[in-house]
Structure 1
Amino acid sequence: MNDQSKIAESDALRDLYGEPVPASLVKEMTFLTEPYAAFIKASPFVVLSTCGEEGLDASPRGGPPGFVRIVDKKTLMLPDRSGNNRVDSLSNVVTDSRVALLFLVPGVGETMRVNGRAKISVDPQLVASFADVNGKIPRSVLIIEIDRAYVHCSQSLSRSKLWDPAAQVDRKALPSIGQMLQACRAEFDGAAYDKRNEEEGGLIPED
């Protein structure tokens, strides 16, 4: 790529794209409005993005709608459920508290973004308050102080047809997770992993 084709200054970027759409500025808040809170309460899925000394990370998190707790207009709590124990996101938070969250609601085209700063709590009473239906408690809870919250229109999801049943891909048309892991390490038993994953309803981490 020719260096002359790169955008290296913010002014040049603004010249290329022009002024922001007015509604994109109106929607940005420093706290959760009631409609924004309603969206988050309905969301069973969020992507948690972090940065730190080891680099960047974007981690999917899920649970029943409301699994991300709204404490007040400026504070969210996100439990860290059992997983693969890589703790990439949490390690980043230790060195850089900045986080970004993207909330999705099944069947809804809009998405909700929250930027803020997080800290990790292992307070026994707090983690116990996030016990799931099986009585399992998270090892820690992220407490997120909101800096910015804003909704995204449905353009991206409409273009992707993410919620369109006709656009859904047959899972068998793609490599299984066991096959993906075995392609990374030949000695990994992908078939055994897939069998165990199926038996446990897809709830095992990447061993």
Structure 2
Amino acid sequence: MIETIEALEAIYGPANPRSLQKEIPRLNPDYRAFVEASPMIMVATAGPEGLDCSPKGDAPGFVQILDDETLAIPDRPGNNRIDNLRNIIRDPRISLLFIIPGVGETLRVNGRAVISNDEELLSRFSVGGKLPKTVILVTIESVYFHCAKAFVRSALWDPARHVERSKLPSAGQILQHISQGAFDGAAYDRDLPERTKATLY
């Protein structure tokens, strides 16, 4: 087992200077373009109750840029576990990964977050008259792009490599298996498309 930084660095060697140069403390025009084009982010937080990494998605630009050092992320209805929000209350550190379909590079943002339910702020994110429950405000501490190697290796955007949904257990089947048959998975799956549509916002 590798247990020291020195041992780790002996294996990997020094960081590529460009990987350090691309990290800046605020958005620039290039990085703003990635935020504005992204319909999907991964939100990572940590707290005394554990770690969380949650996907959040909407129309491109759903993460609003308030200024070069501040982002606003709407929190739409979900299952009310609110693991990442609980973490932010206890530990404001946050990390975001912006993903754009068809693009290999991703944008990484590290910073500190607070949660707001200010009515004027919520109104900025209205969709069909429906507001998010809260908005996560992120103060940027560092931002940089990540190269495309992971997406090239995984062929993530290659339709020929996409997996048919029917080849994996459905949400209802998973819940039925976990409950050892006490949950009606077939009914859950049958109602899921309409339920999802009705509760998106």
Q: Which residue of 1 aligns with 2:59?
A: 64
Q: Which string of whole-angstrom CA distances, capped at 9 and with x for unpartnered residues, describes residues 117-175 of structure 1?
A: 0000011111122111x211011000000011010110001101110011001111111
Match of 1:98 among 93, 102, 109: 93
Q: Which string of whole-angstrom CA distances, capped at 9 and with x for unpartnered residues, describes residues 162-189 of structure 1?
A: 1001100111111111111222213121
Structure 1 counterpart SS, 2:54: strand
- Check if 1:88 corresponds to 2:50: no
C-alpha separation in 2, matches of 1:201 and 1:159 = 32
Letter in 2 for 1:39: F
Q: Which residue of 2 aligns with 1:3?
A: none
- Check if 1:30 corresponds to 2:38: no
C-alpha separation in 1, matches of 2:144 and 2:37 = 16
On the 8 A contact 1:40/1:66 being kept in 2, the answer is yes
- Check if 1:19 corresponds to 2:25: no
Residue segments in structure 1 that go unaligned for 5+ positions in a row? 1-5
Q: Which residue of 2 aligns with 1:164?
A: 158
Letter in 2 for 1:169: V
Q: Which residue of 1 aligns with 2:175?
A: 181
Structure 2 counterpart SS, 1:143: strand
Letter in 2 for 1:147: E
C-alpha separation in 1, matches of 2:16 and 2:147 = 12
Shift of 1:203: 6.5
**What is the aligned residue count?**
199
Letter in 2 for 1:91: R
On the 8 A contact 1:197/1:204 being kept in 2, the answer is no
Residue segments in structure 2 that go unaligned for 5+ positions in a row? none
C-alpha separation in 2, matches of 1:84 and 1:131 = 20
C-alpha separation in 2, matches of 1:68 and 1:55 = 25
On the 8 A contact 2:42/2:96 being kept in 1, the answer is yes
Q: TM-score, normalized by length of structure 2?
A: 0.95
Identity %: 49
Moved over 2 A (4+): 198-205
C-alpha separation in 2, matches of 1:185 and 1:118 = 36
On the 8 A contact 2:110/2:141 being kept in 1, the answer is yes
**Distance change in 2, residues 1:201/1:124 (3 Å):** closer
Q: TM-score, normalized by length of structure 1?
A: 0.93
